[in-house]
Chains A and B, each alone.
Chain A
Amino acid sequence: MEDYEAQEQEFWAKLEESEFSRSSMLRRSAAAALGLTILGGAPSLAAAARRAGAAAPPLKGTAANMAALVAAAKKEGHLNVIALPPDWANYGEIISTFSKKYGIGITSDNPDGSSAQENQAIVSLKGDPRAPDVVDVGPSFAVSGTVQGLYGKYFNSNFATIPRAMKDTRGYWTGDYWGAISIGYNASLISTPPKSFADLLKPEYKNKVALNGSPLTSNSAVSGVFAAALANGGSLSNVAPGIDWFAKCKSVGNFIPVQTTPQTVASGQTPISIDWDYNNFAYVKEFPSAKWTVTIPSDGVYGGYYCQAINATAPHPNAARLWEEFLYSDQGQILFLKGYAHPARFTDMNGRKVIPKALINALPSGALYSKVKFASLGQITAAKATINTQWPAKMGA
């Protein structure tokens, strides 16, 4: 029997226990909402009571309860998502397709937010109808979110086909897509294309190299540090050389502390961006005037995935679970592929030959990704601890 299946049965047996704690958590969150709002206690308390009285959302997605889930989600009528830029792994199309397919309106909050801000939003907006229902966070933030009890358990109907290394076997989070750290640059502003991390230290790139955020708060920036470490004699267990590389890049004047966003790419403020390949590939199509070009650095190829999780105190729990069902369906995973991100179920879908040939050809060649390395959760946690102490010391804040 599959290891995870044994664990799953164990947790089915603990279903009663988890039901008990979930309803007590709902009651606790209602009490917290009352305490937080001195004047507005009455409406939020009524809403919480309504939620506690309504049927609890399913733990497992099966073909049998799918119709009931869709009906319950449509009854909730809305979904709150956070930190999903429309050009990040094609989330724009995913959001509009889901909305049209099920008639459920989606509020997309804080698109340029970081993984840390997503977890923080769950904490700060607890009990508030604007709280995010689902989050898409980096793996280390998924782990800390699970430890803090922010997420609810759910096994979507395609859980079995997701690689073991990309999911939490207890059902708290599931990896949805992965990519590799790449160097994107504006070919009209950069005359000599950079091909590696070593290239980026050259004087002709003064004031041009940017990251997607700060490694203290953003998962893509942490991954940039990993990639730099792999390129400079470090390893997945030792990211200090990566931090040293960024310190060197800053001291020669090449690194700028500006976060890469579509606006900075379009304006030319960040002519070189160290970011996920799917983001850089999206900019190529989005900004033809910037002549954006993407390379995978030759000296350090780091791959990383993002994790879907459902807010334990989601204002729309059934819509949240339906969103996960949609993302992990063949249709949802192909939409990720359209955004140049490798979907989690890629191997399974490729085996069943359900991926359109045109999409497979549009992806960059497999040879570029042959050297890609993924860090384990333990390595990511250790790396974040190193970054948290060494980055402020070596790079300013």
Chain B
Amino acid sequence: MKTGRRRLPLAWLGAVPFFLYALLFLFIPAASIIAGAFKDAKGHRTLSNIHQVFQSQYIDAFRTSIEISVVTALLGGAVGLAIAYAALREGTPRWIRSGMTTFSGVAANFGGIPLAFAFIATLGSVGIATQFIDNVFGVNIYNSPVNFAIWSKTGVEITYLYFQMPLMILVIAPAIDGLRREWREAASNLGASSWQYWRHVGLPILMPSILGAMILLFGNSFAAYATAYGLTSGAIPLVPIVIGNFYTGDVLSNPHLAQALAFGMFVVLGAMMLLYVPLQRRASRWSR
């Protein structure tokens, strides 16, 4: 046993750049938003901004944002999981696996205005796909009975799925790799059907990762601004767009109200984390 003075763990020095970065670009901005949410135009402490957030137009924005985020997280998560498993299980050729991972890496980060314009060019009112369906099937999806519009909630959800599914694939791939082939073989040796394997072995093992990935997808969709704005020009109420209106618009000269809305977003995401913790604990029951 070493005696004398304990040496400082120098390994911590390597993490200093990361902590500095997180401090400057994550904690300090977040703290200033939270502080600003409780100030009024003259800098005094007030709860009036929080009170104003509960007006119906902002509650509508939160409701729509949460709805779109939940739908794209669940749908994107489920489809992403299925695609990831299909691409990554043992029977599949290697080139599919590497091709899928590369494509997902690109697609998960392809968002914002370019994505919005790509979808407008495809599914917009004079988009390529719209015209193709019109010419070949004689159905204009922008008219009744379909009444589709790329700037509606459905259009935004479809566009978000474009980056949600690849993100799910990327995030769940290591977990699927962790599913050992031996467990599948053991289960079928004991007489389990495919459905029973998944219900009793596969999904319980994957569940903590799936839940974590879906929370990530929720947050990703909740905070998306440029994509939504590019598609809708603000036609459907979403929290990031409402906040954006305060800064690029002439709405109210009250940036503190925008900060209060951002604080509301922190609260929603915090609530999702709170939901996640007991779910995660329940899902990891088997490993304790």
Contact = CB atoms under 8 A, between A and B. Distances in A.
B125 A256 contact: yes
Nearest to A124: B247
Interface string A368-386: 0000000000000000100
A221 B248 CA distance: 15
Contacts of A148: 253
A140 interface: yes
Interface string B165-177: 0000000000000
A241 interface: no
Given A119-B250, A207-B142, 16 more contacts: A148-B253, A206-B143, A213-B233, A214-B234, A216-B251, A256-B151, A257-B235, A258-B233, A259-B233, A267-B126, A269-B120, A384-B250, A388-B250, A393-B57, A396-B237, A397-B235
B250 A392 contact: no
Is chain B's binding surface mostly helix, strand, loop or mixed?
Answer: loop
B87 interface: no
Interface of B: 56-57, 61, 120, 124-126, 142-143, 147, 149, 151, 232-238, 241-242, 245, 247-253
Given A207-B142, A256-B151, A397 B236 contact: yes
A206 B147 CA distance: 11
Contacts of B120: 269
A116 B249 CA distance: 5
Given A217-B245, A257-B151, A269-B126, A141 B235 contact: no
Contacts of B252: 388
* Shortest beta-carbon contacts, A-B, top 5: A257-B235, A217-B249, A397-B237, A397-B234, A216-B249
B238 A116 contact: no
Interface residues of A, number: 31
A117 interface: yes
B248 A269 contact: no
Is chain A's binding surface mostly helix, strand, loop or mixed?
Answer: mixed
B96 to A, nearest CB: 36
Contacts of A397: 61, 232, 234-238, 241-242, 245
B114 to A, nearest CB: 14
* Central interface residue in A116, A144, A148, by most chain B CB within 10 Å: A116
18 contacts: A116-B249, A117-B248, A140-B250, A141-B250, A144-B253, A148-B253, A207-B142, A213-B233, A217-B245, A217-B248, A258-B233, A259-B233, A388-B250, A388-B251, A396-B236, A396-B237, A397-B235, A397-B241
